[in-house]
Amino acid sequence: MKTKKKIALIFGITGQDGSYLSEFLLNKNYIVHGVIRRSSSFNTSRINHLYQDPHTKSRKFILHYGDITDAISVSSLIKKIQPQEIYNLAAQSHVAVSFEVPEYTANVDAIGALRILEAIRFHKLEKKTKFYQAGTSEMFGKVVETPQNEKTPFYPRSPYGVAKVYAHWVTINYREAYNLFACNGILFNHESERRGGTFVTKKIVSALCRIKVGKKKKLYLGNLYSKRDWGSAKDFVEAMWKMLQKKKPDDYVIATGKQFTVKQFVNFVLKRLKMNFKWRGKGLNEKCYHKGKSIVEIDKAYFRPLEVNTLLGDSSKAKRQLNWKIKTNIHQLIDEMVNKEMAHLRDD
Ligand code: NAP
Ligand code: F7E
């Protein structure tokens, strides 16, 4: 007897995580629906390899126009698709940018989650549809303990972090008030070759590879001393799915449990590229030299009005209850990112 395929709906399917989660779910034989925003230029480069022409029979990968700031579009898509699982990955996800567009960030990142939860309830899908909310270590902000776990109080330090705290609590609120199967993932930084170019890891890898092959002279960075717990996006999307397969909904920290400074990340990439280097100077005058020339300098434009200085996650609950494992360490992650970047440069 044929078992019916599960249907998932992903908000934020064109993003880094959306693309990896789509691949993961398709491998598990799901039918994957995704919401894309209309854009004046194509914004689907991360999922083009999954695209299926609308004329294909029995499509497994189906895209819909919509926007999480448009309650009616959210509601009618959920009604039409009636998914078993909804993953809310849609966000204005750049912390520094959230200081420039705080109201927009709140609309997308905070109220966006509420719109989905309300639609599930309005269409009486509480018993059918499970919900995943993409929470973040940025909610811990000015950390009150180290490492951070599910019980660590939040102290967000950006409009992005504040908006995500709202989404976190409204998810719990709907779980408790309406018995919805709703989970919060509290994910620490996770990266990949598909990471947006303005996040620090991708920016560093991209610039240093270009400097290595003579296509760029200098990389400008902000705070070299903030510490992050960097994992791999591919490993982390698996945890999202695992949360929705449990008997009971709950919230989980997903992290590697290891932290490094931005400067250490630069050093790792330089070593991987076999580039000799030496740091000299202090504060805004700190520079990294290679073959007598400075290749990394500080630009205070990249400092934020408030910084999250240190993040380190304790994901023992996820390891214990979800049987989730970290497969990729920081050096393997850098290897993957550098290899992809160098391949791009060779194709150029
Ligand atoms: P990303 O690459 O920035 O992707 C964000 C996605 O949200 C994109 O598909 C984007 O569409 C979509 N989106 C933005 N505004 C939207 C709107 N108004 N309506 C519908 N879709 C909208 O982010 P990511 O790194 O994959 O992260 C996925 C989620 O996890 C985000 O919610 C992020 O805040 C959260 N998170 C990320 C990390 C991390 O380290 N990566 C850690 C913790 C939590 P366009 O392509 O059209 O812009
Ligand atoms: O910054 C410092 C910067 O922008 C990391 C998002 O996915 O992870 C991400 O947020 C650190 C910060 O990531 C530059 O000040 C120095 O301390 O790569 P980032 P983020 O702010 O940690 C969390 C978990 C999310 O949820 C977010 O959605 O690096 N830094 N110099 C710099 N950062 C950037 N972007 N650019 C610089 O030049």
* pLDDT band, very low/low/confident/very high, at 206 (cuts 50, 70, 90): very high
User: Could you tell me the pLDDT band of residue 348, with boundaries at 50, 70 and 90?
Assistant: confident
Percent of the chain with pLDDT over 70: 99
Query: pLDDT at residue 3 above 80?
Result: no
Please tell me whether the overall predicted TM-score, pTM, comes out greater than 0.95 for this model.
yes
From ligand 1's centre to the CA of 289, what distance in Å?
35
Cα–ligand 2 centroid distance for 24 (angstroms): 26
* Mean pLDDT within 134-163: 98
Distance CA 54, CA 59 (A): 8
The candidate with the shortest Cα–Cα distance to 129, out of 116, 144, 146, is 116
* Mean per-residue pLDDT, 116-136: 98
Confidence of residue 110 (pLDDT cuts 50, 70, 90): very high
Is 105 a pocket residue for ligand 2 (Cβ < 6 Å)? no
Q: Please state, rounded to an integer, the average pLDDT across all residues of the chain.
A: 98
Examine the residue annotation and report whether 136 is marked as an active-site residue of this protein. Answer: yes
- Give the ligand 1 atom nearest the CA of 16: 26
Decide whether any atom of ligand 1 lies within 6 Å of the 231 Cβ: no
Please say if 126 is a catalytic residue.
Answer: no
Is residue 158 very low, low, confident or very high in pLDDT (cuts 50, 70, 90)? very high
1: pLDDT strictly greater than 70 = no
- Which residue has its alpha carbon closest to ligand 1 atom 23? 15
- What gap in Å lies between CA 260 and CA 263, rounded to an integer? 8
For the chain, the residue count is 348
pLDDT for the residue numbered 2: 65
Is the separation of the CB atoms in 60 and 38 below 8 Å? no
CATH of domain 7-193+232-256+312-327: 3.40.50.720
Q: Is 187 in the pocket of ligand 1 (CB under 6 A)?
A: yes
- Helical residues (DSSP H) of the chain, grouped into ranges: 16-27, 71-81, 95-100, 102-106, 112-122, 159-178, 200-212, 233-245, 262-272, 316-322, 330-347
- Look at residue 171 in the predicted model and tell me its pLDDT: 99
Q: Specify whether 328 is catalytic.
A: no
Q: How far apart are CA 97 and CA 92, in angstroms?
A: 8
DSSP state for residue 188 in the 8-state scheme: P
The C-alpha atoms of residue 140 and residue 310 are separated, in whole angstroms, by 10
Of the candidates 138, 191, 193, 341, the residue annotated as catalytic is 138
